[in-house]
Amino acid sequence: MKKEFPATFLWFLLGWLLLNILQSAFTGVIYDEAYYWYYSQNMAWGYFDHPPMVAVLIKLSSIFFNGELGVRFMSTLLSAGTAMLLWKLIEDKTKKNYIAHFFLLLFSMVLFNAYGFLTLPDTPLLFFTALFLWVYKGYLNKPNWPLAIALGLLMAALMYSKYHAVLVIVFVILSNLRLLLDPKAWVAVLIALLAYFPHLNWLYLNDFVTIKYHIYERPNHPYTFTGFTLGYILNLIANFGLLFPFFYWALFKTKPRDKFTKALVFLAYGVIGFFFVSTFQKRSQAQWVIVLCIPLFILTYTYLLQNAKSRKWMVRLGVVSMVLLFYARAWLIYQPLFPPKVFETHSKEWTQKLEAIVGDTPVVFENSYRRAPMYSFYTGNQSFSLNNIHYRRNQYSIDSSEANIQHKKIAYVTYYANSGDFSYKPIGKNSRVFWGKYIDDFKSYRKLHCFIETEEVSLNKKNQILNIYNPYNQDIALSHIKLNVAYLNDYKQLKETKPLAYKTKLNGTTFLKAKDTTQFIINFPKPKEDNLSFIRFSIAEHNLLTGINSESIPIKK
């Protein structure tokens, strides 16, 4: 251990680990973490938005601790493990003389700092990317069956972390096309597919809901250079903070002299190029390119070891960056350090305000898969996200949580209203007021599924057939629901919703039969706009806002 990791390195590493553990314990969870904590309450091979690795980390953390650390403990260990792997991936023997520089550079990466303690899908993605590259480097030096098997398992672990991991696998293969002629490499792929089969099976059983959402159902916006492409470029800068010039200059100056360095360069340019091209179709998010931290760190630290002048400037900017990031870390814990801004980690207060009003009454949040789990995490009380046509589907749309609150008295919380039985306001001068009302007998039918037999719909065709499948165990009276059609533009943005006139194909039917499909004859009402591209069927029940009860169906032009 001492030969590979000098004592100085281990002391720095221990400091990094303890810092992240303390940060984890005293920093409130962010909304996404609360959502993934909700995942972990019902373990599965997949979830609406992501593969299950993030839920596994939280479940393991909860074995050792409660509260925030019970969400993040495994992430702090993975972060320390990632640092160790990065150290091992750098071959320059002079690195032992610049251990402080190693950690200063590590600390300068903004999102890497965040994923040092936050539990998000990118946390295991970073660790398994580093581990995959380390094993791949060993395989290049000495191809053998144990390493091939390990590569297969690690490819599966990457894909269990986040779908973006496919870019890591693809660009490493593209950097060394001779792998396509290597039987061991093909066995590694087969092992990866076998290990990943449970998630593939989950996708199949759930009608590929995750893939459909990310590729087809996600709302978008018209392209603008500033909002899409320039925003992406700024994300590339933000990931690496004040030291970003060093990272990209090192990438530019690196001339691959071996297959492993070539893999790092291909991976870096590949990820940058892939998401740059994607900006012409959709807006990117900063964390989408987080995997760049692994190859760029290795290339940059290696470059700095060989360039004394660059090291001096790196230290100066690195110290400034470290001070700023320490202050930001402190602010995440103690909001008054930056009074104008309230961040997600300061959300515990609003959950306590709401609990003081409603007690242990279950809370239904309208259109907020973020607030519902946050409330449950901090109060231990039941909550649910009821999603309508103005929002999007999420994990609450496909799991069994709706059944847990049926026919109960609930507190219904929304930010669309301006009156109600009660209200509360989160901290912050500019925070909006949320209104709530009590419903004595809550009934929701958001799992009713509408579909047609054709791939497109014609708005002018008369007497078309609509199918509604009722997955519930009880019949649902037609008098309790209202059928609507929503019109969407090219970017799947809602433009208007209209009541949909219908008659049952079977005369005399007054209900949707349990576990059965009922057919209706419909005629589409004329929309106000002409430039529409999709429709969605939407059902309202018991005076609630109309839900999301079908996929987006193209309109025949």
Smallest CA-to-CA distance from 242 within 158, 313, 175 is with 313
pTM across the whole model: 0.95
**Angstrom distance (rounded) from CA 206 to CA 497:** 27
Q: Which two tokens stand for residue 171?
A: 């660009």
Higher pLDDT, 284 or 172: 172
H-assigned helices in 180-292:
183-205, 209-212, 231-238, 244-253, 259-278
Averaged pLDDT, 312-333: 93
Paired with 117 in beta bridges are none
Q: What is the CATH number of domain 449-554?
A: 2.60.40
**Nearest-5° Cα angle at 125, 152 to 3:** 80
What pLDDT, on a 0 to 100 scale, did the predictor assign at position 425?
Answer: 87
Most confident of 176-190, 430-444, 493-507: 176-190
Paired with 516 in beta bridges are 470
Provide the pLDDT confidence category of residue 375 given band limits of 50, 70 and 90: very high
What average pLDDT does the structure give for the chain? 94
Averaged pLDDT, 260-285: 94
What pLDDT, on a 0 to 100 scale, did the predictor assign at position 339?
Answer: 80
**Is the pLDDT score of 434 beyond 80?**
yes
Averaged pLDDT, 163-170: 97
| Residue appearing with tokens 């609507």 | 484
pLDDT tens-place string over residues 472-483 = 999 999 999 999
Q: Which helix (H) or strand (E) holds 410?
A: strand 410-414
What pLDDT, on a 0 to 100 scale, did the predictor assign at position 40?
Answer: 97
What pLDDT, on a 0 to 100 scale, did the predictor assign at position 429?
Answer: 66
What pLDDT, on a 0 to 100 scale, did the predictor assign at position 85?
Answer: 98
Smallest CA-to-CA distance from 285 within 164, 405, 393 is with 164
**Is the pLDDT score of 428 beyond 90?**
no
Q: How far is CA 489 from CA 310, 326, 436, 494, 527, in A?
A: 51, 45, 32, 7, 12
pLDDT tens-place string over residues 323-345 = 999 999 999 999 889 887 888 99
Averaged pLDDT, 451-457: 93
Domain boundaries defined on the chain: 1-96+328-346, 97-327, 350-439, 449-554
State what percent of residues in the chain have pLDDT above 70: 99
**Is the pLDDT score of 515 beyond 90?**
yes
pLDDT tens-place string over residues 63-109 = 999 999 999 999 999 999 999 999 999 999 899 999 999 999 999 99
With a CB cutoff of 8 Å and minimum separation 6, the contacts of 550 are 449, 450, 451, 536, 537, 538
DSSP 519: E
**Nearest-5° Cα angle at 45, 43 to 50:** 95
What pLDDT, on a 0 to 100 scale, did the predictor assign at position 456?
Answer: 93
Averaged pLDDT, 269-286: 93
**Angstrom distance (rounded) from CA 48 to CA 366:** 18
**Nearest-5° Cα angle at 482, 536 to 498:** 50
Burial of 482 (0-12, 13-18, 19+ CB in 10 A): middle
**Is the pLDDT score of 2 beyond 80?**
no
Q: What sign does the dihedral 73-77-80-86 (CA atoms) show?
A: negative
**Is the pLDDT score of 507 beyond 80?**
no
